[in-house]
Every structure is written in C-alpha cells, then in structure tokens.
Amino acid sequence: MDVFKFLLFIILEFLTYTTVYPQDWQIPPHAACEHFNLTIICPENQKIKVTYANYGRRVPSSVFCSQYDIPNENTDCVSANSMPIVQGLCDGKRTCSVAATYAVFGDPCWGTHKYLEVEYDCIEGGTF
C-alpha cells in the first residue's frame, strides 16, 4: 500500500507542475538556441534548399531554449535578414552549420534570449 501512495504522490506532483501550452506555440523542428550551432545534413546526392529561417523568438523561453528566465521577453522577434543569410550559407550544399549568434544575424530584440529556426528541403540536383 505504501508503494501505491508513493506512486500516486509522484503522479499528482507531475500533474501539478506540467504546463499545457496553446497549440500555436510550436517548438521549431530544426533549431539551435542562441550561442549554439545549427547543423543541417542532407542524404548523399541531395542538396539543401532553405525554405524558412528566423533568428529571434516566436515562443516563450518556458517552451523552447529555456536556459534563461527572462521576464517580459519579446515573442514577436523576427530578424528580417535571417532568410538570405541562411540561404547564402546553406543553399546548394549537402551540409552546413550556422551559428545562432547576434554576430551573424544582428540583434533583432535586445534583452530576449533568441534561437535560430530553419526549415529546409533536401532536393536532388537543382539550381540555386
């Protein structure tokens, strides 16, 4: 019976501290937190074609890249130059690595911990 009470306690504690986020807060599938590198690798005979890139923040740090707890962070943070920079570094290559830093992209929202998110396709051949 003590084991049952212990397990019930653990389950209740988990439920108490589990946060449910709105559906529109999607964790980026290909992303790197600020100060880390994002590496993209396509299969043999295929090349990267970047379809979306943003260095900034679109979801709260409690959802993604939670190294820092920053009050009043900007979740509408978009760096307009992200797409051409990532395309220039990655398009037409089989692999690439991009540093998620303000040195590469500038600082679109000072005081907010950012991340780089990239969507891409791996395509055979093609012109870029």
Instruction: Map out the domains of the chain as residue ranges.
Output: 26-124
Which of 9-18, 40-49, 110-119 has the highest mean predicted lDDT (pLDDT)? 40-49
CATH class label, 26-124: mainly beta
**pTM to 2 decimals?**
0.73
pLDDT band at 28 (very low <50, low <70, confident <90, very high): low
Do residues 114 and 66 lie in contact, with contact meaning Cβ atoms separated by under 8 Å?
Answer: no
Q: How far is the C-alpha of 93 from the C-alpha of 95, rounded, in Å?
A: 5
Per-residue model confidence (pLDDT) at position 22: 38
Do residues 121 and 58 lie in contact, with contact meaning Cβ atoms separated by under 8 Å?
Answer: no
**Average pLDDT for the chain:** 78
Handedness of CA 94, 106, 56, 99 (dihedral sign): positive
Per-residue model confidence (pLDDT) at position 64: 74
Q: Is 18 a residue whose pLDDT tops 60?
A: no
116 pairs with which residues across the strands? 32, 55
